[in-house]
Structure 1
Amino acid sequence: MNMKLKFEYKITLAYLVLGSLWILFSDKVLYHFIPDGIKLTALQTYKGWFYVITTAVLFFYFIKHHLNKNRTASFELKNKTEEYYTLYEEYKSQAENLNIAKEKVEESLQQFKLLIENAPIPIFIQTDECFAYVNKALCSLYGAENENELIHTVVLDRIHPDYKDFVRERISTLNKQQLIAPKIEYRHLKLDDTEIDVEVMAVPFKYHDKNGALVFIRDITSIKQYIKEIEEKNYFIQKVLDNLPIGIALHKFNEGTATYLNKKFEEIYGWPAKELRDIKTFFEKVYPDEDYRSKITSIIMKDIESGKAENMHWENIEITQKSGDKRIINAVNIPLTEQNTMVSTVMDITTQNLFEKELIVAKEKSEESNRLKTAFLNNISHEFRTPLNGMLGFLDLALNENLDHEKKREYYQIIKESSTQFLNILTDVVEISEIQSKIDNTKITTCNLNEIISNVINEKRTQLNKKNIELRLELDCKEEELLIQTDYHKLERSLMHVLDNAIKFTHEGNIRFNCKRDKHEVEISVTDNGIGISAEEQTRIFEPFRQIEFGETRNYGGNGIGLSLVKFNIERLGGKVSLESESGKGTKVVLRIPANNLSPDSFPKKEKAMSNINWKNKTILIVEDDWVNYQFLNEVVSDLGAKTLYAKNGLEAIDLCKGSENIDLVLMDIKMPEMNGYEATKRIKEIRPDLIVIAQSAYALQNEINQYKDVFKSYITKPINSETLIEQLKLHLAD
């Protein structure tokens, strides 16, 4: 429409312009060239045709140009129209395809969303370091009931503090570089702050026009725990294998190199693992002697090639360690055919071999000891019965009313000596029992050697006189040198046994009893010229129950434990015992004990006799469940004029002490019915703290005395000597 109007305006304008110019200037132009008016008039017709032809030519040109232009435009329009139609068709097709694609995309997006939403692995989208989207699995992982508990919360809040800085840097790098963040393991926190191990991978992701990341999480807590358990089990197995008492090595059947050696395997063979792995090198190192190696290798390979597990064990094989030490081993191979593996085990039996040898020796010694004990028991029965026979036999004789006074006195003396002999035997048995029970009852006090030696000699004076043996006492000590610190009882008993043996095995001649000391020790020796001891017997004479003769034809008495007690007692005192003897010529026994420099003032002064005590004013409570023992105590105390009270158990003793303020002293037995003396004494001390209580008990072992003595003023052991009892009463009942 616009194009048509423009053409019409152009034609009209051209006509008007040409017409106007022709009317205005045609005559003037012609008149300029042809001034003659008649000619001009004659030319008016030609002037009109000129105008018509000129305008026609111009119109033709304009119209033709216009038509050509229109034709070109129409052609172009047609072409454009066809092109546009084609484009339209394509657009239409594309639009249809686009709609289909859009529908598919929307369907895919919906499916993708459903897939993400219901994916079994936790997934979330992060923007601005916050949760922008979370799926159900992530909610479940963090313990959220719904997505609203997580959306818009800070991602770093769910990261363990140990990893926050690292994750913050990781998020920043991903947002800047837009690169996939590789898988990595670290620890997250649930909403309740429970820790979980996770594996995380993140890819750059634009969400609602914001740069962020699509994050995939895998909960590996159970895997980590499983791995940890496996590692712990492997560690446990490795620890067990490394600490087994046997060596273990593994190698394939078709290979000559060990795949595993435990520590014990290296330790037993005494070579580094690298020098033991190759089988050939192993044999060369462990069996350096070529002949022995050839022999052992032949035996082992023959047994292995048999394929029979029962053949693959070898005992008492000698190996050589790198240090050159020799060891004895037992080896066993276990073929695991299905695993193509041979298990080699080895056990070091060197110590076991030595132990077995020692065990054989110990067995022989034990058998010898049992034989000695049997002989001892047989002998001790005889040793007990001998003094008992003297006691009971002469007691019957002494009860004869027609017997004169002198005879009775003689019999009573025999009864006393037999009783002492019986008590000594019993004491020896108790002491050897203490030794075997490893009871140490050593009690160090200040002692006078002269007094101990005198007591020993006086005790044995009767035996010396009966055998007409001269005793030569040689004290090469000054008076102050006779004071030492030692256990009075142990030293006295040791000297008693040594002198007793000298008297027993000496038929005639003399015995020299020598005592000397230097700055450090006291040496006491007893030398006899008796039967002596053979060299063989000297090595065993100090063993318990050992005697130089056995059987029913023995010439000498004794129980066989005297010298073993001497050795034990002297060694407990820090000393030594030695013996020199020659068969048929005599024996010398030497005791050496530590000496201490003490002055005579160190020795405790003896109490003076208290002959002026008025015993009639004293009351003594005797607590004793045995009536005979009570009668003995009552007789001793009554002879001194004291008044006595009697209680047969601890409860009665307590009642008497409550009811009587006149009791001055209590003689308390310990083992009694109802209540023992130890408990009774503790109760009495609560009532009368100052009352003197003296224990009189058959608990005579030192460990027993130590157990009970703390509540008593003094402690007397049964059998009680009347003189000892009177001395204790005098000591504690002084005015």
Structure 2
Amino acid sequence: MATISHEIRTPLNSILGFAGLVAADPGLSPDSRRRLDLIERAGRSLVEIVNDLLDFSKLEAGRMELDPEPLAPAVVLRDAMAIAAPAAEAKTLALRVEIEGDDKQALFLLDETRLRQVLLNLLSNAIKFTRDGHVTARLELSERRLRFEVSDTGIGIAPDVQARLFQRFTQADSSISRGYGGTGLGLAISKALVTRMGGEIGVVSAPGRGSCFWVELPAHPAQPTPRLDAAAPKPCDTRGARVLLVDDHHVNRELGCALLTLGGHEVITAEDGASAVSLLRDQDFDLVLMDVHMPVMDGLAATNAIRAMGGTKARVPILALSADVMPEQVARCVAAGMDGHLAKPIVRDALLAAVARFTAPSEQDLARSASSNL
């Protein structure tokens, strides 16, 4: 599954990336813009399918790890509703949020990413299968349990198929898949995640009367975690960075170069790790964006070679820019000396935000700059 994911994400990177670049052209005709939007939506749907398959394979292999932290369930629910809102607005569906409990901002020990994933799946299904009316998300807070409900005024589900909904690759019938799409994995993944969190998931529904999916999780009250970076924010540095982009696919290099250049950065490219190491010896860069699988020298070996250089060269920030997204693959990048990981297909905003973060001047740099101006 990891190999298949990598091979699908690589061409998707080009499809979505260049579609986004062309869509930014102000001279596009309305018809061309609409067609590009269809390409992007189809590409994003394919990314979601690949992500579902990867998540399910990780759950099946027992490799899905939870990362609980203190958070307010009400905040997570509202965030999920905000993400789902554009899809509801496109169908003129009303979205409602109801939160009940003595302390609506109470903190509990939960995995924010996985809880949001479950809620987004339920909200996405509710919106998908509702033609008119509304979708309501409800949260009940108590000392012993957290209960989430997502109800809709959609097509409903027959009793004889409700028991099969949480099985893998299952939808109500073949017409559902043809009419609405999807892998039939979303609810199976949600059930597995909720079970890992020690909770339960279920549905109450009837044909033509909508559906109500519910999730109950044990309530583990938590205290806020002290933030170590609570100091005043660093000044924003708007200068362009000098970036070394390393990728063996010329299309990926062209796309990355275009995105970074539009973001105001200077880009030098290399087609393999050996070329990258040679360039870094002779030139200075603010950041290296490193692919992993390359001929001659792969990204992991190149990172090891850079870290062994010594001096300022060895400390240059290196980010993996790779279609390898499995946790163990990301861990290998970090173990090799990389500072972070960006997944393909590239999301422009995430790419530029990462460049800004890793090329911002340190407090020592700011102090030296201030003293030199005195």
Give TM-score scaled by structure 1 length.
Answer: 0.42
**Partners of 1:520 and 1:687 in 2: CA distance:** 55
Residue equivalent to 2:85: 461
Two-structure CA RMSD over aligned residues (Å): 3.3
Displacement after TM superposition at 1:520 (Å): 4.0
**Partners of 2:275 and 2:343 in 1: CA distance:** 22
Matched, 1:621 2:244: yes
Matched, 1:726 2:348: no
Residue equivalent to 1:640: 263
Matched, 1:444 2:68: yes
1:678–1:564: structure 2 CA closer, same or farther, 3 Å change rule? same
Residue equivalent to 2:320: 695
In 2, are the aligned partners of 1:441 and 1:702 still within 8 Å (CA)? no
Secondary structure, counterpart of 1:687 in structure 2: coil
Q: Cα deviation per residue 1:224-273 (whole Å; 9 max; x = unaligned)?
A: xxxxxxxxxxxxxxxxxxxxxxxxxxxxxxxxxxxxxxxxxxxxxxxxxx
In 2, are the aligned partners of 1:485 and 1:596 still within 8 Å (CA)? yes
Q: Cα deviation per residue 1:465-506 (whole Å; 9 max; x = unaligned)?
A: 33332211113364632x444333322221122112212322
2:138 pairs with one of 505, 514, 517: 514
Residue equivalent to 1:232: none
In structure 2, give the amino acid aligned to 1:677: G
1:254-653 matches, cutoff 5 A: 404=28, 406-447=30-71, 449=73, 452-476=76-100, 478=103, 480-481=105-106, 483-550=107-174, 554-599=178-223, 602=226, 611-615=236-240, 618-653=241-276
Residue equivalent to 1:715: 341
Matched, 1:670 2:292: yes
Q: Cα deviation per residue 1:674-731 (whole Å; 9 max; x = unaligned)?
A: 1211121122111144221111110112232233323221111111211111111221
**Partners of 1:479 and 1:402 in 2: CA distance:** 45
In 1, are the aligned partners of 2:274 and 2:302 still within 8 Å (CA)? yes
**Partners of 1:553 and 1:729 in 2: CA distance:** 40
In 2, are the aligned partners of 1:519 and 1:595 still within 8 Å (CA)? yes
Displacement after TM superposition at 1:440 (Å): 2.2
In structure 2, give the amino acid aligned to 1:655: S
- Relative contact order (C-alpha < 8 Å, sep 6+): which is higher? 2
Q: Cα deviation per residue 1:173-212 (whole Å; 9 max; x = unaligned)?
A: xxxxxxxxxxxxxxxxxxxxxxxxxxxxxxxxxxxxxxxx
**Partners of 1:695 and 1:437 in 2: CA distance:** 25
**Partners of 2:178 and 2:350 in 1: CA distance:** 37
Displacement after TM superposition at 1:430 (Å): 1.8
**Partners of 2:156 and 2:231 in 1: CA distance:** 41
Residue equivalent to 1:657: 280
In 2, are the aligned partners of 1:610 and 1:730 still within 8 Å (CA)? no
1:536–1:697: structure 2 CA closer, same or farther, 3 Å change rule? same
Number of matched pairs? 339
1:406–1:511: structure 2 CA closer, same or farther, 3 Å change rule? same
Displacement after TM superposition at 1:455 (Å): 4.3
Secondary structure, counterpart of 1:480 in structure 2: coil
Displacement after TM superposition at 1:621 (Å): 1.2
Secondary structure, counterpart of 1:536 in structure 2: helix
Displacement after TM superposition at 1:627 (Å): 1.5
Displacement after TM superposition at 1:564 (Å): 0.4
In 1, are the aligned partners of 2:72 and 2:105 still within 8 Å (CA)? no
Larger Rg: 1
Q: Cα deviation per residue 1:347-380 (whole Å; 9 max; x = unaligned)?
A: xxxxxxxxxxxxxxxxxxxxxxxxxxxxxxxxxx
**Partners of 2:93 and 2:305 in 1: CA distance:** 56
Secondary structure, counterpart of 1:699 in structure 2: coil
In structure 1, give the amino acid aligned to 2:305: R
1:119-268 matches, cutoff 5 A: none
Secondary structure, counterpart of 1:577 in structure 2: strand
Q: Cα deviation per residue 1:592-636 (whole Å; 9 max; x = unaligned)?
A: 234443456657879969644322xx3221111112222222223
Matched, 1:681 2:303: yes
1:643–1:606: structure 2 CA closer, same or farther, 3 Å change rule? farther
Secondary structure, counterpart of 1:498 in structure 2: helix
1:448–1:540: structure 2 CA closer, same or farther, 3 Å change rule? same
In structure 2, give the amino acid aligned to 1:480: Q
Secondary structure, counterpart of 2:321 in structure 1: strand
Q: Cα deviation per residue 1:366-400 (whole Å; 9 max; x = unaligned)?
A: xxxxxxxxxxxxxxxxxx9xxx9xx89xx6xx79x
In structure 1, give the amino acid aligned to 2:190: V
Displacement after TM superposition at 1:581 (Å): 2.2
Secondary structure, counterpart of 1:526 in structure 2: strand
Secondary structure, counterpart of 2:182 in structure 1: coil
> Unaligned stretches of 5+ in structure 1?
1-383
1:402–1:667: structure 2 CA closer, same or farther, 3 Å change rule? closer
**Partners of 1:490 and 1:533 in 2: CA distance:** 25
Displacement after TM superposition at 1:509 (Å): 2.0
In structure 2, give the amino acid aligned to 1:715: H
1:475–1:549: structure 2 CA closer, same or farther, 3 Å change rule? same
Percent identical among aligned pairs is 24
1:632–1:593: structure 2 CA closer, same or farther, 3 Å change rule? farther
In structure 2, give the amino acid aligned to 1:575: G
**Partners of 1:606 and 1:686 in 2: CA distance:** 33
> Unaligned stretches of 5+ in structure 2?
1-7, 362-374
User: More helix by proportion, 1 or 2?
Assistant: 1
In 2, are the aligned partners of 1:480 and 1:599 still within 8 Å (CA)? no
**Partners of 1:449 and 1:676 in 2: CA distance:** 42
In 1, are the aligned partners of 2:130 and 2:152 still within 8 Å (CA)? yes
